[in-house]
Each structure stands twice: as structure tokens, then as C-alpha cells.
Chains A and B, each alone.
Chain A
Amino acid sequence: GEQVEQLPSILRVQEGSSASINCSYEDSASNYFPWYKQEPGENPKLIIDIRSNMERKQIQELIVLLDKKAKRFSLHITDTQPGDSAMYFCAASRGASSSFSKLVFGQGTSLSVVP
């Protein structure tokens, strides 16, 4: 299968705390896992990605973890701010190996950061 499951669908956190979003995938050949942030009325924008040769990647307050054995990956936003409120989508693909390598998206998480 090619499905990507994403949980939770709705997440509400206090400003300054951490937010975690979890995804699992079925295709064991997946080797590229991007995360997109989509604000209302806007297109999805890539915020961080991880490849299968890594287990952890951090860009400022964003941390991505990858567990290939369990076929799970997660996004952690530390010290959340109101500007982090948005829809977040995980995705998985077989990377740049083929022109027809497709990106399969999770169902999305609506994150609200409250003061």
C-alpha cells in the first residue's frame, strides 16, 4: 500500500509548549519524508524534510524523527508560537529515483497555538 496516516487531526497547545504530529507509512521503499505547512488560503510550503539515511533532523524549533523499522516519522515543534498555527501535512515518497515517484500525503493536522 501507499497510504500515509497522520495523527492527530486536531491539535491545540499552549503557547511556549511543544506540539507533536505523528505519521506512519506503508511503502517500505519510501525514502523521503517532507513536512508542509499550509496557512488559510495559501499553498502548502515545505518547512522541513528528512531522508532515510537520517534518524533525526532539526531546523531551529522544528525537529523531525524517523523510525524506518516501525515506518513512522514525526514532527515536533518546540516553543510554539501563535504564528505556528496552521495545517501541517506529512508526506512520503520514493524520492528522486524516478520521474514518477509520487508524494503521498497524510490527512493533515490542524494546529492551534493559544496564548
Chain B
Amino acid sequence: GALVYQYPRRTICKSGTSMRMECQAVGFQATSVAWYRQSPQKTFELIALSTVNSAIKYEQNFTQEKFPISHPNLSFSSMTVLNAYLEDRGLYLCGARDWGVSETLYFGSGTRLTVL
């Protein structure tokens, strides 16, 4: 079956430092990867959508300078939160799909970011 592994599950960083999270797709080709942040209020904010070896489209309020994303092949994607501050805390989720084959988005387990 299709699975997405995301790590780390939890991380704590000091204010102003950076942290990187990674996603690995197994059992399907992750041609499209979406990165979301789930706030304490539980809503999902889309950060960016990336297509392998192609452009990355950031949503309003999110920038490449703050959330650089790498999506170099059909099974791997990473995102870094640069200069993390309190407002960046939350659960970060990667969702991957094979866009030419299926609309189904498979989510990783999430990375819970705490900023001290």
C-alpha cells in the first residue's frame, strides 16, 4: 500500500534557529507533495505545493525564504523552517500523491514543532 514516512515526529528548537523535516513516500510515486501546517486551532494551512524537479508554488503568507522546500525525486521531499519563532509552532504535515494517477493525498505522521 501507499505510505508516507515523516520525520522527526517531534522537535524542539530555540527561537531564531532552524529545523528541517523530511518525508519519504513508499509504494507510489510522489510526483506532487503538499506541505501543510496544522495550527493549535486544528485548521490546515497549505504552505506550498511542489512537483518533482519542477516549480514550487507557495501560498500567500508563506515564502521560500522562510520555508525552503526540496523535492528532488519521486520518493523524497524536505522542508526547513528557517529562523523559527513562536508563531511557527504547530504540526507540520506533508501530503504526497501521484497527480497523474490519483487525487488521493497520503499524509505523513507529521512533525510537531515546539519553539522555545
Within 8 A of B (CB), among A65-115: 87, 89, 93, 95-96, 98-105, 107-108
Is there contact, CB below 8 Å, between A43 and B44?
no
Is there contact, CB below 8 Å, between A107 and B42?
yes
A96 CA to B97 CA in the complex, in Å? 9
Q: Which residue of A lies closest to B43 (CB)?
A: A107
B104 contact set on A, CB distance < 8 A:
34, 46, 49
Is there contact, CB below 8 Å, between B105 and A34?
yes
Decide: A96 near B49, CB < 8 A? Known: A44-B93, A87-B42, A102-B34.
Answer: no
A51 contact set on B, CB distance < 8 A:
103
B41 contact set on A, CB distance < 8 A:
107
Interface residues contributed by chain A, number (CB under 8 Å): 25
Is there contact, CB below 8 Å, between B31 and A93?
no
* Cβ-neighbour of A42 out of B46, B54, B105, B109 (below 8 A): B109
Contact with A along B18-35 (1 / 0, CB 8 A): 000000000000011010
Is there contact, CB below 8 Å, between A43 and B31?
no
Within 8 A of B (CB), among A24-77: 32, 34, 36, 42-46, 49, 51
Within 8 A of A (CB), among B81-116: 93, 95, 97, 99-110
Is there contact, CB below 8 Å, between A45 and B99?
no
Q: Which residue of A lies closest to B107 (CB)?
A: A43
Answer yes or no: B51 CB below 8 A from chain A CBs.
Answer: yes
Instruction: Please name 17 pairs of A and B residues whose Cβ atoms are closer than 8 Å in the assembled complex, sorted by A.
Output: A36-B107, A43-B6, A44-B107, A49-B103, A96-B97, A96-B99, A96-B103, A98-B99, A99-B54, A100-B51, A101-B103, A102-B49, A103-B34, A104-B46, A105-B43, A107-B41, A108-B43
By a beta-carbon cutoff of 8 Å, the part of chain A in contact with chain B is: 32, 34, 36, 42-46, 49, 51, 87, 89, 93, 95-96, 98-105, 107-108
